[in-house]
Every structure is written in C-alpha cells, then in structure tokens.
Amino acid sequence: MKVLPFILVLLVNALFFMILSPGTANPDPLSTQSVSSGSGDRSNQIVGKGETSGGYVLTLPNALSIALRSQPQLGAAKAGVTSAKAGIGIAQSQYYPTLAGSSAYTRETGNFGPQPGFPFTIPESPVSYDFYQASLTLTQTLFAFGRRSSQVAQNRALYKASHQGAAKTVTDVIFGVEKAYFSVLKDQELLEVDRLTLADYRLQLRVAQARYNDGVANAYDVLNARVNLSNMVLTQVQDKNQFHVDELALNRAMGVIGHSPYRVAPYHPQLSIPYTPEQVVAIAISHRPDLKQLDQQTIAQKQAVRFNQAQFMPTVQTVGAYSLDSEFFPLVYNWSIATTVTIPIFNGFLNVQQVRQSRAQLKQVRFQREDLRQGVIQSVLSDLYTLKTAEQKIRDAQTLVEQAMQNLDLSETQFRVGTGTTVAVTQTERDLAKARSDLVQAQADFAISLAQLKRDMGINYDFDHNSLPTGGLP
C-alpha cells in the first residue's frame, strides 16, 4: 500500500495537464449536411413536385440539395475533416500519462557462471524453477518545452485548413451543378427552337407543294423546302443527343447514378451586376475558402518550425513502477519512482536540418498563398467582364429575335401576294432560327458566367448559416 500515495500524485498531475491542454476545435462545416457514403443506387433521389408531359420538374434548388446530399466529393471532404480533427486528439494525447502492464511466467534453471569480481564456479544443476512476474509502469511527461503545445496548435490549424478545403469542395460542387443545369436548360430551349423552326419549314413545304400543284411555283421551291426541312431534322437530332450528354453531366454533378425522367425548370437570372471591380476583388479576398486554407496552413507551418526548434530542448519525465515477482506464491512486491531528464547532445545535425526544412516549407506556403491571391484577382475580374459581355449579348439577341420575327412576317406576306420568293422566306426563317438559338446560348452563357463569378468570389454558399444564398448575387 506504500505505492498508493505515489499513484495518487501522478494521477493528480495527469489531471492538471488535461485541464491545461488545448481544447478541441470548432465543428466542421459539413456537420449539418447529410452527405451519404458508399456506392448504393441513388436512382430514386430525383423527386420533383410538378409533373409534366416530359416527366418531373427538377428545379435548381432541388438539384443543389441533391448534390449536397449525394455528391461523393463532399463525403470525401467530410471524412478528411474528421481525420484532421482526430489529429488534434492525437497531439493532445501527449499531455496524458501512459500506463502499461505486463505479466510473465518463466520456467528456468538457476545456474551461475563466473563473473568479473566473482571468479568462483558453482556446480551446474539440471533443476529448473518456476518464476512469476507482473508489473505496472506509469509514465508522465512533465516538461517538453513547447513540443506538445506546438504540435497541438499545428494540428488545430491543419484541422481549420481541412475545414476550408471542404468549403472549397462545396463551392466547386455547387458551381458544377449550376453549370450542368444551365447547359441542360439551354438544350431544352434549343429543342423548343427546333420544334418551332420545324413547324415553319413544314408549313413552307406544304405551301410550296400547293403552289406547285396550282402551277404558280416551280419544282425548285418544293425541293428547297424539303432540303431545309431535312437539315432541320438533322439539327434536331444533334440537339437531342447533346441534351442527353448534358443530362448525364448534370446527373454526375449531382452525384446520382440513375434517375427518373425529368425536365429542368426554366430559370434565368436577372440582368443586373451590382458589384464594381473593386468590390468583387475585396469580396473574393475575404471569402475564398482556398485563401483561408493557405492562411491556416501558414499557421500550421509556423508551429512546425516551433516544434523543430524545441527538439534542441531537454525532456523531463516521471516514471513510476509497481511489480510483483517470485518463484512462489504469494508474490513479492516492489515499487520505484524516478524523474529523468533527457538532453539531446548530438544526432548528426538532424534537428538543424529539420528546422531548415520547416522554414523553407513556410516560405513555400507563403509564396503559394500570394500566387493564389493574384490568380483570384485575375479570375474574378475576368469573370466580371465576361458577365458584362454576356449581358450585352442577351440584349442584342432579344432585339435580333424581334427583328427576325418582323422580317419573317413581311417576307411571308410578300410571298402570299406574289411579290416575294421562297428564297426570301427561307432566309428569314433561317435568320429567326439563328436569332432564337443565339438568344438561348446568350442566356446560358450569362447564367454560367454568373455562377462562375459567385464561385470565384466564394459566395455561392452561405457557410455562416449552412444554406444556399438567395437571389442571383448575395
């Protein structure tokens, strides 16, 4: 029982270090998101509320919700955050004592040979004996001169960096869904343009055939109408195939394997850009998760330098042992307590090179952060100018559609009264089809450019409230 006061002292000491050890970091950003893991079938995850003749209606918010729930990239990012959080606990474990127990049974002889200072020989005996051993060893590090605290701080910074890395994954997934969604929407609208153009060409063919039968038109008009109709049918087939390709890309962006038939709901952002170049740069610098990630990696690398510098310092440990051993039962107890100081003297300049390496890595991270900062500025300004160009293209395309419709009405009227030609009607129909297609393309370009600007500014997800932002631009 004499060892009990010693054990109590060590346990109180361990509790003291537990209280002083740094706490756990903040919860990860994906903790409130239900991100599924595994590769099970997700074919029933696209559920629309408005059923049309083309299947269920998939809205953009629904598509984003499906992606945040099902995208495997987010599951991998969440696992990375959990792993980094465990690193904090691993570093904090150095503040706790270690308790190890062992027991052994040995069958051995007791012969004794000559030893230095005892040159006598004892006759050997074949008799063997039982020997029983059991021991408990408690080890507590008292002072490490900054090694433990720097490792805990380093892992906390790495956890925060993984937190921002997961946030970057969220913004990339959201942009991927938005880009694919607007591509599918563009294909749907192009198919509608094809339908309208086909109806016009079929009408033109019927009129040309009727006029040819009446003897007021030649065979060229009929042949020309058929050629235009055939070319438009081919265009429709190409657009349908592109629609299926982009639909597969949208499914992949949402993280689903199969799906029920659906149509995406029309969604066109307002033609407004409420930010100046200076504002988009300022917002991007303060919101980009990858910049914040490198900031935390810089902090972690500073702590790595501190840790390697502390390797030159001694380590103070207390070791207590309690043992039971004997040839017979009951066993005989012994206990010991010792405080050791370990001083590094020479290890082949290992510590020197480790400090040099960690300092170089710190400079590397700082340069990477500056390079990323410049890239962010370039990307958001390029996105802004691209968005302005897309906005102007929409306005011009809307004007061209109105003009093309007026020209088509005029050419058809002239053709009916005999003052126009089928060539003029065909040309105006082509102009209208191209104007409609250009408008659809311009609208898709604007929506995708807006989504990319939000992603590059780091504002396409509200991490403060763990929700999608409302409106075109927050």
What is the separation of C-alpha 125 from the centre of its chain, rounded to a whole number of angstroms?
73
Domain residue ranges in the chain: 25-36+48-94+145-314+350-457
Residue 416 to residue 208: CA distance in whole angstroms: 11
- Give the pLDDT means over successive 10-residue stretches in the chain (474 positions): 44 45 43 41 35 69 93 95 96 96 92 74 83 95 95 97 96 96 95 91 86 80 88 94 94 84 86 88 96 97 96 95 92 95 94 96 97 97 95 94 92 78 82 92 94 94 81 46
35 touches 82 (CB < 8 A): no
What is the separation of C-alpha 409 from the centre of its chain, rounded to a whole number of angstroms?
52
- The CATH H-level superfamily of 25-36+48-94+145-314+350-457 is Outer membrane efflux proteins (OEP) (1.20.1600.10)
Residue 90 to residue 141: CA distance in whole angstroms: 15
152 touches 21 (CB < 8 A): yes
Q: Which pLDDT score is estimated for 103?
A: 95
367 contact partners, CB below 8 Å, separation of at least 6: none
Q: For residue 349, what are the CA distances in angstroms to 171, 311, 359?
A: 45, 11, 16
Q: For residue 443, what are the CA distances in angstroms to 190, 259, 388, 439?
A: 11, 26, 12, 6
140 touches 54 (CB < 8 A): no
Mapped onto helix, strand or coil, the DSSP state of residue 139 is strand
Q: What is the DSSP letter of 326?
A: E
Q: What is the DSSP letter of 95?
A: G
Q: What residues form DSSP beta bridges with 13?
A: none
Tracing tokens 């370039």 back to the chain, one arrives at 378
Torsion of CA 285, 474, 380, 444, to 10 degrees: 160
**pTM for the complete prediction?**
0.82
By CB atoms closer than 10 A (0-12, 13-18, 19+), residue 345 is: exposed
Handedness of CA 359, 360, 361, 367 (dihedral sign): positive
CB hemisphere CA count around 226 (13 angstroms): 6
Q: Which pLDDT score is estimated for 239?
A: 95
Mapped onto helix, strand or coil, the DSSP state of residue 38 is coil
| Neighbour tally for 162: CB within 10 Å | 25
